[in-house]
Structure 1
Amino acid sequence: MPSSAIPAASATPWREALGEMPNPLGLLGLEFVEYRTARPQALGHSLERLGFRPVARHRSREVLLYRQGDMNIIVNAHRGTDEPPLSPHGELAAVALRVRDAARAVRQLSALGAWPVHRTVEVMELNIPAIHGVGASQIYFVDRVGEFSIYDVDFIPIPGVDPRPPAIAGLHWFGIVQYIGWERMEDWCAFYRELFGFAELPDAQRFGVLPSGRILASPCGTLYWQLVEPVADALDADPDELLQRVAFGTADVMAAVAELKARGVLFVEAAQGVHSDDRGALTLPSDDGPSFEFVRDPR
């Protein structure tokens, strides 16, 4: 990776963040998630209730960057000529993983059979390398983090806005929940294990209030990936394969729930035995946006 990609002050903490598992891509955590929506203002209001703030606008597309703490969420309302229709409720369309060398990561994944994403970028836009993920989603790889980041190239800061709004209730990235098809568990476990170095957790090790499926841990120890199969008449039943929701970690779920309720966030309280407790909580999906999960982080 070019020496300018990671500032010197960040090098040591990032090395310390690497776990003991093999880390073939040099994963360093989650950089951003992207939602595609036909109603960006509605989704933006939903994110603001969660504590996110719009901090920058894309230079040439209808795209906004929301942030709190170390978490970045991109709200994309731009539709290209070859892209599918935008979802009115917000579709989790992409995740971006921090790596030591993005170009090398995609070359390595391509050699293992992953499908690179080929796109045409506009003048003054970064070409962020990516591969195809589940459904129509994409997985980006970012190695520009810190003092000079991808947002400094593609986005214009919103005047008068704090570019680093603090996280409420200590919220941080915890994981991604992915719905998979019938009898596809072993295929997807192999995908994340062989390409990214994720490891399956024992069945006894569970997080949150929806402990179905299988949980994989990233080799950098900062991200969990939950694979959920369809179950008849269950809250998590969905026949499609897709990225379903984001999970935020917090040290105190009930304190976070209380603060978020005061901000107008609604939670699932009595659906098939699911309710907020000290293990986790799930927000209600609405016309403003999708559901989000909150999990007590054991780390």
Structure 2
Amino acid sequence: MRRSVATVSLSGTLRQKLEAIAAAGFDGIELFENDFINFNGTATDLRKITEDLGLGIDLYQPFRDFEASPPAQHLRNLERAERKFDVMQAMGAELVLCCSNTSPLVIDSPELAAEQLHELAERAKQRNLRIGFEALAWGKKTSLYGQAWEIVKRADHPNLGLILDSFHTYSLKDNPAGIADIPGDKIFFLQMADAPLLAMDVLQWARHHRSFPGQGEFDMATFLENTLRAGYTGPLSLEIFNDVFRETPNKRTAVDAMRSLLYLESQVRDRLAKAPATDAKARRALDTIDLFNPPAAPRLSGYSFLEFAADETSAVTLGKMLEQLGFKRVGRHRSKAVVLYRQGDIHMIVNAQPASFARGRFDLHGTSVCALGLRTADPAAAVERATAMMSQRHDSPVGPNELHVPAMIAPGGNLIHFVSSALGDSGLYEADFILEDTTAVPGAGLKTIDHVALGLQLDQLDTWVLFSRAVLGLETGESLELADPFGLIRSRGVANADRSVRLVLNVSMSQRTRTAQTVSRTGGGAVHHIALDCEDIFETVARLRANGLRFVPISDNYYDDLPTRMDIDPTLLANMRAAGVLYDRSAAGSYLHIYTESFENGLFFEVVQRIDAYDAYGASNAPARMASQAQQQ
């Protein structure tokens, strides 16, 4: 399928945008008129640049406020159109987007709209150009695709067709099912835009908060599926107005854009392939359109390990903290300055080998998590999926008799290793480490890694949401805003179906918060806390305190207030107050948790106990933790 993206979706000058779009593998562009107006060159110059980059100009847009205009205005509109046609012919664009009229002059007459669009299409025909009519969600008289289609049908001109845009349909809660009944050859162009669900004016929503498919909450797969069922075979394109994208490096945005389309195509291909053999529209779409078909998303089955990058001094300090947490040093790497710690099903690797981090972000003093090991049945297929979805493969140096563990680079620079679940609990470590002590590790009752929380730069959140869905096959939870004493933190969880792999993605709206400070010290995509699961949090906390581990103190006011907000057993409340444990509850279960004091670079641990089917992260208690950390600091 031909893939395109609107120039308005990226930051930079027009030439910089085009270079980033071409590098990401797109076939064409939607040229946003303002980009051309401010371009230091002619339409012919632009045509040469795009041809040299292997890009086509699939759409020129927008042509505004045309249909159903008063007679005098209509004549001016036709003259305006002729000048646009001049430009289009010079640059090699054959299709222009005519969006529904938003002018107060517009006349409420579908007949007049059709008549005037017919005339415009006839003029376009004389130049071998085409007109695509799109219903804007804020159009004065035409705001739904069904209304636009009725006008196009009435106009009845071969050079006039419909342009569909998922944002305009879903923002008005319109049903895309009817698209499947529109003749595919009358759909001239398809624009896809996702978005978070926001309660705000639709124009402001559209101009500032669209996102790539897979980053928002709209049902993008259903929209594309219905369009393909109609028989559409044209470009699949993205038109994204987003304030953050306008600031983000355009090469990264272009990669996200391509990843989103590949992910969307693969979703729809799977749907069509599962349709009954008698479903003629599904069979036709599969036979006609070459939809992206990557390896399946990996089925993750838990964390195999977390790896810390540390200098020589920090490695010793971190090792002592891990021992306070109940971990036991159980081995050292065969060829590197790397130490293995274990407790329950948790493996922590402390890497102090300087050459391991020569690629940049971890060439620093202090400690940060540099790699996550995730278990899956087929690591090679997981990396193939990642590379197909625009992620970069990583091959670490391997010594004699050491295992090669397939890996990829996550957004921000961390590594994700895919570890074969067939290796069992110790297969990987027996191969790569000289085990110093294989006796049972009594520990402090910590069993598994419950979740890993990352601090991201503001422009990385959408990237990580899409990466988590498209590459790792994770599901997204709700987006929350948490109150830090110095600003708001936006937080979103992603997890696999059985919740054995959970990530929490956090971005700061302010540069003064602790999250923002952690990100600035360690770089984007940095792990800022690690949650470890236990069966009896009070017993575990008692052991940890006995080991000398220090926790973030929680105000007595928190415990005084808790019973005013929810019914809670007095004995449980007393135990929580004595231990410094926090509490959250949902309809499915409850959550007990406590935070350690911070280690280097703001990194800290969380001890958690999930009761019944509680599936969140204790977000209501995050302000208590952040306020306490701020007061300590």
TM range (shorter): 0.7 to 0.9
Q: Which residue of 2 aligns with 1:129?
A: 406
Greater CA drift, 53-62 or 232-241: 232-241
User: 2:333, 2:433 within 8 Å by CA — same for their partners in 1?
Assistant: yes
Corresponding residue SS for 2:383: helix
Post-superposition Cα deviations, 1:200-254, rounded to whole Å, max 9, x if no partner, equal 12458x9xxx995011122342121100011434343344412222111224434
The alignment's TM-score, normalised by the length of structure 1, stands at: 0.80
The 5-angstrom pairing of residues 1-299 of structure 1 reads 24-38=297-311, 39=313, 40-80=315-355, 82-84=358-360, 86-143=363-420, 144-146=422-424, 149-158=427-436, 161-202=437-478, 213-232=491-510, 233-237=512-516, 238-239=519-520, 240-241=523-524, 242-270=526-554, 276-278=581-583, 279-286=592-599, 290-298=603-611, 299=613
Residue identity matched to 2:596? T
Residue identity matched to 1:292? F
Aligned alpha-carbon RMSD (Å):
2.9
Partners of 1:229 and 1:60 in 2: CA distance: 37
How big is the shift at 1:287?
5.6
How big is the shift at 1:155?
0.7
Residue identity matched to 1:165? V
Corresponding residue SS for 1:171: strand
Post-superposition Cα deviations, 1:116-140, rounded to whole Å, max 9, x if no partner, equal 0133322222221100013231000
How big is the shift at 1:105?
1.1
User: 2:300, 2:501 within 8 Å by CA — same for their partners in 1?
Assistant: no
Aligned in 2, Cα 1:212/1:276: closer, same or farther, shift over 3 Å? farther
Partners of 2:366 and 2:340 in 1: CA distance: 18
Residue identity matched to 1:31? S
Paired positions, count: 270
Partners of 1:66 and 1:107 in 2: CA distance: 30
How big is the shift at 1:147?
6.9
Aligned in 2, Cα 1:163/1:26: closer, same or farther, shift over 3 Å? farther
Partners of 1:92 and 1:284 in 2: CA distance: 17
User: 1:134, 1:243 within 8 Å by CA — same for their partners in 2?
Assistant: no
Partners of 2:365 and 2:441 in 1: CA distance: 27
Larger Rg belongs to:
2
User: 1:69, 1:164 within 8 Å by CA — same for their partners in 2?
Assistant: no
% identical aligned pairs: 27
What residue ranges of structure 1 are gaps of 5+ in the alignment?
A: 1-22
Aligned in 2, Cα 1:182/1:251: closer, same or farther, shift over 3 Å? same
Partners of 2:601 and 2:459 in 1: CA distance: 33
How big is the shift at 1:187?
2.4
Partners of 2:439 and 2:601 in 1: CA distance: 24
How big is the shift at 1:169?
2.7
Residue identity matched to 1:41? V
Aligned in 2, Cα 1:222/1:188: closer, same or farther, shift over 3 Å? same
User: 2:300, 2:374 within 8 Å by CA — same for their partners in 1?
Assistant: yes
Partners of 2:448 and 2:381 in 1: CA distance: 27
User: 1:24, 1:197 within 8 Å by CA — same for their partners in 2?
Assistant: yes
Aligned in 2, Cα 1:56/1:107: closer, same or farther, shift over 3 Å? same
